[in-house]
Amino acid sequence: MGEEDAPRVEGLDQVPTPGHTPGHQSLLVHTRQGRVVLAGQSFQTASDYARVRLAHELRHAGHDVPPDADTPPWMDLVEAFDPWRVLFAHDVASWERGPGVPSAS
């Protein structure tokens, strides 16, 4: 069954997050508190995700970011959902949204 064949469930979205495996997907859960991403193995740990997400946020706020601070192409898609929490398969820690990075202007 391909992604286009998967039945839709209200309150859940599949988000392609390839990396660990080419077809990896994360599950976005809409809760009363906000959106939660079950990120599986998109990153090994919450701290790995936090490091990459910070570089992504700094870049979008207009700050200079070192060229080795690569972010996966799907990060914009995940961030468009504005998740408040992200959980990972191999880490008991989770990432939670903080106050954000001020603009570089």
Using pLDDT thresholds of 50, 70 and 90, give the confidence band for residue 1. Answer: very low
**Stated pTM of the model:** 0.81
Do 28 and 79 contact (CB within 8 A), yes or no? no
**Per-residue pLDDT tens for 87-98?**
999 999 999 987
**Per-residue pLDDT tens for 59-88?**
888 888 877 777 888 988 998 898 999 999
Of 53, 25, 58, 29, the residue nearest 41 (C-alpha): 25
Query: Where in the chain are the domains?
Result: 10-93
Give the C-alpha separation, 78 to 21, whole Å. 17
Is the predicted pLDDT of residue 30 greater than 90, yes or no?
A: yes
Supply the DSSP string of 64-81, one letter for each residue: ---TT----TTHHHHHHT
